[in-house]
Amino acid sequence: MLRELLTVARTRRPDGVTLADLLVQHGLIEATELAPLLPRVQRTLSSPERFWASFGEEHETIALGAAGAQARVGPEAVNAAETEIGAYRIVKPLGQGGMGLVFEALDPNGRAVALKCAKPGERGGHAERLRREGLAQARVPQHPNVVQVLEQGEHEGAPYLAMELVTGGTLGARLRERRRLEETKARQIGVELARGLGHMHAHGVLHRDVKPANVLFSAEGVAKLVDFGLARFPGMITVTETGEVLGTPLYMAPEQALGYKSQIGPATDVYALGIVLYELLTGETPFPAPTGAHTLTRLVTESPAPPSSLRPGLDPDLETLILAMLAKTPNDRPSLEQVSEALEGADLATSGIQLAPQPAPAVPKAVRILLAVGLVTLLASLALLVWIS
């Protein structure tokens, strides 16, 4: 469709036919909805990185431990003269991401820790989110399935977090190596993550960015949640812009994608955990798409394919559990306690888990606009490239 529209636009350019005309003619957007979007598209073409960053496509998040250090940290990430941050002596870099840098360091007693700090010169939103991450994790008492924060501080005006050093690599790295896991192992990881999330929720903290890159393993193979950069808790200070969509599109719940803040709660993390389980068992996420905007549209408007269609022979009860976790409506999803019980083998009926009917929802206007902006931007970018060539 995109290639066809672009070809038509090029051939009919002398007739004054534009991409916008074709989008309206093919029913991809209404003219009344397109008009106010055109100025935004123009701004997007002048700064596309800002547009896509608003959909959380700047990833992966910081990875701790040996698995996260591979080809992630360039020499520019570390100031050779910077051997200490606060009371911590830097040993080596471990990883970097959109939110900052991670080092292995030694505390004053010689204990190895992971030190997460803002990038040099960073004083904006990322630094504030790192401060918020520390506040969020400080609210959560020690738990075997949550990475522990040991100290929060500042060095030359930039925040840092000292955390337990977790050396077993990330779940994301394991999936890249193996693509999918055995059912027994997937169940075990699911139980550990459900317990970690339940502990967080019991202390008023929502993670809001559960995904394989944010799951670390201890040397003993225990799964631990990390990266509270998007966590929400009572009394938190908002550092996002109005209308900004936060999270990773592939793992976002519909209420996150649509910006329904009043509906974001524990069930939002249940949905993300369901996506992770789906991926662990099938090797794929349920709503892959070329761009974040298209992924968000799919997860809001489509039902996921049954995991057994990608992995024949999957336990039917496990499939029912995962699909229940991926219900479009938060109230239709099971609780984390129910999820943990079901993953450990409890009967679904006994646990009170049932798959609610999931009729295909009507496409909300907000989603049509979201898709249209992404589509118009893509087509306009392609047209620009063709024109230049």
Active site residues: 209
Residue 39: strand, helix, or coil = helix
DSSP string computed for 206-268? B----SGGGEEE-TT--EEE---TT-B-TTPPP-SPTT---S-GGG--HHHHTT-GGG-SHHH
Residue 330: strand, helix, or coil = helix
Residue of 34, 56, 36, 52 lying closest to 44 (CA atoms): 52
Phi, psi torsion values for 207, nearest 5 degrees: -75, -55
Residue with tokens 């794929």: 284
- Beta-carbon contacts of residue 357 (< 8 Å; ≥ 6 apart): none
Phi, psi torsion values for 378, nearest 5 degrees: -65, -45
Q: Residues 339, 340, 344, CA angle at the centre, nearest 5°?
A: 115
